[in-house]
Amino acid sequence: MHPISSEMTGQAPSQAGPSASISEPCSISDPNKTIDDITEKLSVYLAAKHSPPFTAPAGFDDALNGLASPDRIVQVFQSQGFWCWLAYFLATKDPKTQPPLSLSGIPYDTLSVIVGHVSEAPVEETLVQRIQSTLWVARRGPTRRSELRKAGISGFPPRPLKRPRGQFLEDPDDPAQVAKRLRPNNTTPGTPRIDITTPVSHPAAGQPTQELHSLDHISQPMLKVNPPDGYEWPDARRIPSVFFPELGDMIARNGHKASIFALFPPDAAKCRLLLNIEAAKVSPLVMRLYGIQIVEIEEQRAFALPGGVNAIISGSAQFTNTKLSLWDELFGDLIIQGVRNSRGYLDEVARGIMLSECVSMEVPSATDHPAKITITINEFALNDIITRLWLS
């Protein structure tokens, strides 16, 4: 048995990771055993726990450079997405594991079955965090993502939604610097944000005018909440207990966790439900709700205006003052009634306000960033949602 090296798993030498024999594959005369054995040997690398500092795996950049001219086996793995390719890389390129796993001589059909099984293997959350640091926080992150895209490898994890203070000037490929990171930055809905342009109005198709604001994205980091006042990242399998399928399918995920946050502060008027919408679903959702077309220009979102004019979003654009009925079909009764019974909405009704600020949508400029929906909601409805998503 050969243990996975601490350099590959991110564990300290004293921490024991999962072990797997990675000698030559089983005889092809027993294809089922071959498939099971190799699938297990590859999947164990995706299930291994990793510990900070989250540096790039040894040899990762060399492997990316080799994607320009991959061999037949590498092509099969990279065709099934990032995690499948990473499992193959970790299992076969670990310099401290001898002999390395060899898949040469395995028939293509058998190899395809193995790759299919590996693509369904669960990925340890700390490995996701390590790869996010490798691809998004490290100084070489943009180059690495570019190499993956050129090779046609999709499915690598998105930019982390939470980023500790102090990382902006640190390189996570340097363990000495990563070890000095400060505690994560807690932000709340009251975090100041810089409005860098004058609010503009754009009429939605057949709908009341929607108000757009351009915001400084860096000054408004993604929300981080902690119990007892807040809840975060529920099991994605619980989404159907609260959300209709259409909206549920749009909610961003990180592994098996859903990008949903609930704020339940002592002041019930400040109860909020927050959802992050997958980057690919943002443009269709904006068109459906607001009648505004968003196009992509050099990895930036832009509004397609009449006459062929494109207005690039700087920072992010926030849609407020919404006609609540637009959201009825997406939210369903539990959420929409929670909004209508919230103190904020009842106050708007009492003042005769037709367009509500209780539901807003923030769309970042970067095309690979999710959009954030913020919902003001009644405390009783939010308590029901929290019970279904986190406590049941």
* pLDDT tens string 74-112: 888 988 889 999 999 888 876 666 677 778 888 888 898
Quote the pLDDT of residue 274: 95
User: Which residues have CB under 8 Å from 217's CB, separation 6+?
Assistant: 315, 316, 364, 365, 366, 369
**Residues 276-326 pLDDT 10s:** 999 999 999 998 888 889 999 888 999 998 888 899 998 899 998 888 888
Q: Is the pLDDT of residue 17 over 70?
A: no
What value does the mean pLDDT take over residues 39-49? Answer: 89
Q: What is the DSSP string of 295-338?
A: EEETTEEEEEEGGGEEEEPSSEEEEESB-GGGGHHHHHHHHHHH
- Which tokens belong to 164? 């500790």
Tell me the CA distances in angstroms from 220 to 34, 123, 190, 224, 279, one per residue in order.
51, 29, 10, 11, 18
Q: Please list the helix, strand and coil fractions of the chain in percent, rounded to the nearest 5, in that order.
A: 40, 20, 40
Q: Which two tokens stand for residue 283?
A: 């443009």
- pLDDT score at 98: 63
Cβ atoms of residues 257 and 369 within 8 Å: no
* Residue 262: per-residue pLDDT: 93
pLDDT at residue 377 is higher than 90: yes
Contacts 24+ apart (CB under 8 A), 181-189: 181/52, 184/224, 185/221, 185/224, 186/224, 186/226, 187/221, 187/222, 187/223, 187/224, 188/223, 188/225, 188/263, 189/223, 189/263, 189/270, 189/272, 189/374
Check pLDDT > 60 for residue 184. Answer: no
- Asked if 299 contacts 273 with a C-beta cutoff of 8 angstroms, the reply is no
Q: Sorting pLDDT into bands at 50, 70 and 90, what band is 229?
A: low
Kindly tell me the burial class for residue 296, based on how many C-beta atoms sit within 10 Å of its own C-beta (0-12, 13-18, 19 or more).
exposed
CA 392 to chain CA centroid, Å, is 24
Confidence category of residue 31, pLDDT binned at 50, 70, 90 = low
Residue 30: is its pLDDT beyond 60?
no
Average pLDDT, whole number, for the chain?
75
Rounded to whole angstroms, what are the CA distances from 353 to 15, 274, 348, 378? 60, 23, 5, 18
Q: Which two tokens stand for residue 234?
A: 């529920």
**pLDDT tens figures, 110-149:** 898 999 999 888 999 889 889 988 898 888 888 898 889 8
* Top mean-pLDDT range of 112-126, 159-173, 187-201: 112-126
Mean local confidence (pLDDT), 54-64: 87
Confidence (pLDDT) at 94:
65
Q: What is the pLDDT of residue 95?
A: 63
Look up residue 51 and give its amino acid: S
Following DSSP, what letter does each residue of 45-62 receive, concatenated? HHH----SS-PPPTTHHH
pLDDT in the model for residue 205: 38
Q: With bands split at pLDDT 50, 70 and 90, how would you rate the model's confidence at 168?
A: very low
Confidence at residue 220, expressed as pLDDT on a 0 to 100 scale: 34
Interstrand relation of 359-364 and 316-320 (parallel, antiparallel or unpaired): antiparallel
Does the pTM of the predicted model rise above 0.85? no
Averaged pLDDT, 327-349: 90
| Confidence grade of residue 34 (pLDDT, cut at 50, 70, 90) | confident
